[in-house]
A and B are shown apart, each in its own frame.
Chain A
């Protein structure tokens, strides 16, 4: 299986090609069953991915494939230097492959129901296949080139899918915003790659890591490059302050949101940091900015993101926006855990996987709710859906409790794993307690906002006609919900030791031998010591209290929300306005660039071109004089191809061009050229 893993993305790409070129024809024959082509392309990868994972877990060596992609000529020593298109399947990649294929399969099956009747039906599935394929390619990358290629393709697909209903202005805007925000971040990514490449003429991860470890790349450069690479990850994984595109991305159809928030796009940033983790570890001793190394920057940004997004999640009234901020917050968790170093590595990746399952589930549940309520997304107009949509109701709670981190759901294990890592690192370095406190605070809020979402949606009585007449979604939508819910419940128990334990630790240790002893970092990978009861207890307490708060306010209505809003008015207003971050970017980056463009245009028109026209006018006056003086000579002497053609055209297409002027110019230039050529001759012959 391991040998065949490279086929997995190809299957999706093939499905995409078929749907793109023959989609409408096929749809005429098969109807909406064309969606199954996309499912087949993705799901066919599942056995390959699972097989690969099992083989790796049994101790198989990771496999590499590569072919020559861009020869770069011959180097001084005679050796040729080339860029390869390289793929690799190791433990990290294999786990991701399984997650992406399984989650994406469920989402695409669900889409068959959700997109029913859409006028660009087959196109939608073509894009979904491309999206999944690109993500799978990114996961398999074993060098920066392939990583970047997959990275950008994922960005393209998010653009196409967020703006899928492009007739809506807001959708088109959101698509553009997503692409450009991540693209700006990608400048950082590119700079990071270029910095490393300028020291090691290779883009291969293993070679770059080896060079960094051996000191061929100065450690400060490694650190700065890692920080630049992280900027790219901030864009893709929606880290503060580049998170603003993600809530807007809700404009896409709900399955797209599920895919973006779970299996693809946002997962790419965290995966990138994980994949390039050795660079962050190696450079830990070297400060990048204000005495902070790159790894700690990852942690700090993650912490801020986790907190900020959680507070924003508390005030949203759009059901999908609650989930959007939740995703941002959870990605912050993962980054923060990665920031703990080796000890947090496996935990962060585990949370990435687990989160993908329950977040895809939650999004598809919200889609089911929206579907059932006839397009209504505002939770204030819902309520009482528990009885009308039982499957959706129960599966939503499964996802919600997992997100909150309630035992024994999958989210509990991964979250506990991360918090234990923070705990361990804090024991080694007390300043890290800030992370512990901040993330536990975010945990309360997480439980509170997801509890609020569930209670507002399902509890009480219907607050609108649409909610009153809501109906459960068809089986093609609910069956994927049940499958994902099952994973959400069981993944933690079954997969915890298997995924979280030895497999990742072995990856970490093969990639970073000897780097465990970085000063200031807790050296051991987590899982090598026992279960931390204290952390589990604290986290559970936090989650329960968050749920309790939300129940008190939104289920039992013991506290008046109007009162809360009044007491917290300044914060509430700022939070509703997303802390003015969007406005800030709009006023500075967007307006600034447009203003600069306008200034440039005016400068070009009046200064640069104005000068050109002025010179042209002046020359014309001079030439006209010269012409008058040498008229006869010019007419005889203008043996010029241009003049001949002019004559030809003059006869055949008289008056088409005002050719008198041209003759004037040509003649003038012949005179000047002859004069200057004489001067050059004299200078060159006599001068030296």
Chain B
């Protein structure tokens, strides 16, 4: 059974069904169709989880079909321990977002259509192993998000939507050029990622390899977003509807870091190593700068958006470490160990950040819907009136600031553990970001929830069932991963071990060749 194909296209089928419904008369049918389609996708992703065998290294559940013979393009899907957690994250967040979005009344038909289309795009990106397919899915995920922000967004939605669109489109364009260059450089010409990772078509190519690397870099770094390409993110988040923010922070950002791990590292190992230090420095800046920016924000959503810049910085630090140059000579066991640890941490951080920030954005939506305010200083003492809300928000905040027992800690701890072995100073400085993160989250909690309850908020009601359904599963996952990360790390580790081993083999080989004068 081609389960991955089913998984990817179930939401699309739902979307097409919705097209045939009438917005005015079939409001419930539309909502149910969307919910069922995303629920089926979620169940299928769990099925994939069950079918997946961590003991087997390499890609699994592969699907392979000829597609465009003339250009040697294949319909090639497959997953490994890197993509599997992201796939489940995607289907889960999509399902929760759609459930949360039942309350949307404005143009529900188009809303659900775009949401399901978005889900197909995201799942496709994480499953595709052919660059052509990858690129199509990548672009498919871009367009619905543009409309979600542009139609259902806040007052300044047009600016934010266009900024988001153009920014990511520039990135995609750069990526497209890099993909084409790789295609033409390979013999025979191919878009197959596995084949390209085997061939290393740019090995020893000098400047062209560098250009291709930075082309891919731009495409991925904008998505992450890495400093200084991050300014679309706060605007997009502030204007996006709640569920849009959840998906944007929860999944779309991960497409960037996924791209680095799936594409840049294995296909361009040399250039990756050459620029690893630069990426680590940009990651460090993202961490510190994002944390400081978050601290200075007055808008709750903007604060969380900047905290995403900060947290995705840890992912990028882990990625940089996994290809860091460590000087001549054989790769020691300590270095090897640092790399795997850091990469495991980076991938886990992608998942943890998706869960935690997804929950945080849902929670911002809760208060915004009641008050139409996101100004942190507008509140105060809400813990008295909304204890469940306060409890969940504090839990998500503590998860975000890396409290042990919750998911964020495990991921950050592993990144630091691995990174310190290679980039001592950068990691030491990055740790300061953790302290700043604690400060701004606690300050936010104090201003919104502690102190005296203002007269104005005497009648706020606590979270309703729909909101709880969206947030509680995420809270439970934070706790589950935080307490016992072993199962998910076993899956992630199966992929990162293979990747690091391949990279190191390549480095050892090329270093020997360079040593003997090529």
Which residues from chain A sit less than 8 Å from chain B, CB to CB?
Answer: 68-77, 81, 145, 148-149, 152-153, 156, 159, 163, 166-169, 172-173, 176, 179-180, 183-184, 186-187, 190-191, 194-195, 197-199, 201, 593-594, 596-598, 600-601, 604, 608-609, 612, 616, 641-642, 645, 649, 652-653, 656-658, 661-662, 665-666, 669, 672-673, 676-677, 680-681, 683-685, 687-688
Task: Establish whether residues A71 and B231, one from each chain, have CB atoms under 8 Å apart when the complex forms.
Answer: no
Residue of B nearest to A201 (CB): B337
Please name all residues of chain A whose beta carbon is closer than 8 Å to the beta carbon of B493 when the two chains form the complex: 71-74
Please name all residues of chain B whose beta carbon is closer than 8 Å to the beta carbon of A652 when the two chains form the complex: 107, 109-110
Complex Cα distance A645/B158, Å? Answer: 17
Complex Cα distance A190/B404, Å? Answer: 13
Task: Establish whether residues B161 and A72, one from each chain, have CB atoms under 8 Å apart when the complex forms.
Answer: no
Task: Establish whether residues B338 and A198, one from each chain, have CB atoms under 8 Å apart when the complex forms.
Answer: yes
Give chain A nearest CB distance to B500 CB in angstroms: 8
Complex Cα distance A673/B344, Å? Answer: 36
Residue of A nearest to B348 (CB): A70
Complex Cα distance A242/B203, Å? Answer: 53
Task: Establish whether residues B344 and A77, one from each chain, have CB atoms under 8 Å apart when the complex forms.
Answer: no
Task: Establish whether residues B340 and A172, one from each chain, have CB atoms under 8 Å apart when the complex forms.
Answer: no
**Can you list 20 A-B contacts with CB-CB less than 8 angstroms, sorted by A residue number?**
A69-B485, A69-B486, A70-B486, A74-B340, A145-B413, A148-B404, A148-B413, A152-B403, A163-B450, A166-B451, A167-B451, A172-B450, A176-B446, A598-B296, A612-B163, A642-B139, A653-B107, A656-B151, A665-B162, A673-B176
Please name all residues of chain B whose beta carbon is closer than 8 Å to the beta carbon of A195 when the two chains form the complex: 420
Task: Establish whether residues A176 and B333, one from each chain, have CB atoms under 8 Å apart when the complex forms.
Answer: no
Residue of B nearest to A605 (CB): B231
Residue of A nearest to B493 (CB): A73
Complex Cα distance A70/B177, Å? Answer: 40
Within B115-156, which residues are at the interface with A (CB < 8 Å)?
136, 139-140, 142-144, 146-147, 150-151
Task: Establish whether residues B432 and A72, one from each chain, have CB atoms under 8 Å apart when the complex forms.
Answer: no
User: 0/1 per residue, B448-488, Cβ < 8 Å to A?
Assistant: 01111100000000000000000000000000000011100
Residue of A nearest to B421 (CB): A198
Task: Establish whether residues A680 and B181, one from each chain, have CB atoms under 8 Å apart when the complex forms.
Answer: yes
Does B417 interact with chain A (Cβ within 8 Å)? yes
Please name all residues of chain A whose beta carbon is closer than 8 Å to the beta carbon of B404 when the two chains form the complex: 148-149, 152-153
Complex Cα distance A660/B298, Å? Answer: 34
Please name all residues of chain A whose beta carbon is closer than 8 Å to the beta carbon of B383 when the two chains form the complex: 166
Task: Establish whether residues B489 and A70, one from each chain, have CB atoms under 8 Å apart when the complex forms.
Answer: yes
Complex Cα distance A612/B171, Å? Answer: 14
Please name all residues of chain B whose beta carbon is closer than 8 Å to the beta carbon of A641 when the two chains form the complex: 136, 139-140, 143
Complex Cα distance A609/B230, Å? Answer: 9
Please name all residues of chain A whose beta carbon is closer than 8 Å to the beta carbon of B61 when the two chains form the complex: none
Which residues from chain B sit less than 8 Å from chain A, CB to CB?
Answer: 107, 109-110, 136, 139-140, 142-144, 146-147, 150-151, 158, 161-163, 165-167, 169, 173, 176-177, 180-181, 184-185, 205, 208, 228, 230-232, 289, 292-293, 295-297, 331, 333-334, 336-338, 340-341, 344, 381, 383-384, 398, 403-405, 409-410, 413-414, 416-417, 420-421, 424, 427-428, 431-432, 434-436, 438-440, 442-443, 446, 449-453, 484-486, 489-490, 493-494, 496-497, 500
Task: Establish whether residues B208 and A77, one from each chain, have CB atoms under 8 Å apart when the complex forms.
Answer: no
Please name all residues of chain A whose beta carbon is closer than 8 Å to the beta carbon of B439 when the two chains form the complex: 180, 183, 593
Give chain A nearest CB distance to B317 CB in angstroms: 13
Task: Establish whether residues A159 and B442, one from each chain, have CB atoms under 8 Å apart when the complex forms.
Answer: yes
Complex Cα distance A172/B451, Å? Answer: 7
Complex Cα distance A149/B483, Å? Answer: 10
Please name all residues of chain A whose beta carbon is closer than 8 Å to the beta carbon of B435 when the two chains form the complex: 180, 183-184, 186-187
Please name all residues of chain B whose beta carbon is closer than 8 Å to the beta carbon of A184 when the two chains form the complex: 435
Task: Establish whether residues B333 and A180, one from each chain, have CB atoms under 8 Å apart when the complex forms.
Answer: no
Task: Establish whether residues B442 and A176, one from each chain, have CB atoms under 8 Å apart when the complex forms.
Answer: yes
Task: Establish whether residues B166 and A187, one from each chain, have CB atoms under 8 Å apart when the complex forms.
Answer: no
Task: Establish whether residues B436 and A593, one from each chain, have CB atoms under 8 Å apart when the complex forms.
Answer: yes
Please name all residues of chain B whose beta carbon is closer than 8 Å to the beta carbon of A616 when the two chains form the complex: 163, 166
Task: Establish whether residues A77 and B295, one from each chain, have CB atoms under 8 Å apart when the complex forms.
Answer: no
Residue of A nearest to B447 (CB): A172
Asked, given contacts A198-B420, A677-B176, A685-B184, whether A71 binds B165 with beta carbons under 8 Å apart, the answer is no
Task: Establish whether residues B344 and A187, one from each chain, have CB atoms under 8 Å apart when the complex forms.
Answer: no
Task: Establish whether residues A672 and B173, one from each chain, have CB atoms under 8 Å apart when the complex forms.
Answer: yes
Task: Establish whether residues B147 and A649, one from each chain, have CB atoms under 8 Å apart when the complex forms.
Answer: yes
Asked, given contacts A69-B486, A179-B442, A597-B293, whether A684 binds B181 with beta carbons under 8 Å apart, the answer is yes
The 10 residue pairs across chains A and B that have the minimum distance between CB atoms: A601-B296, A194-B420, A149-B404, A172-B450, A684-B184, A597-B296, A597-B295, A166-B450, A73-B493, A73-B497
Please name all residues of chain A whose beta carbon is closer than 8 Å to the beta carbon of B146 when the two chains form the complex: 662
Please name all residues of chain A whose beta carbon is closer than 8 Å to the beta carbon of B338 when the two chains form the complex: 198
Further 9 A-B residue pairs, CB within 8 A, beyond A73-B496, A662-B165, A683-B181: A72-B493, A75-B333, A75-B337, A81-B337, A197-B420, A198-B334, A612-B231, A653-B110, A677-B180
Task: Establish whether residues B184 and A76, one from each chain, have CB atoms under 8 Å apart when the complex forms.
Answer: no
Specify which of B110, B144, B177 is in contact with A676 (CB 8 Å cutoff). B177
Task: Establish whether residues B414 and A72, one from each chain, have CB atoms under 8 Å apart when the complex forms.
Answer: yes
Please name all residues of chain A whose beta carbon is closer than 8 Å to the beta carbon of B232 when the two chains form the complex: 612
Complex Cα distance A649/B151, Å? Answer: 10
Residue of A nearest to B401 (CB): A183
Give chain A nearest CB distance to B368 CB in angstroms: 21
Please name all residues of chain A whose beta carbon is closer than 8 Å to the beta carbon of B333 when the two chains form the complex: 75-77, 201
Asked, given contacts A70-B485, A76-B333, whether A166 binds B449 with beta carbons under 8 Å apart, the answer is yes
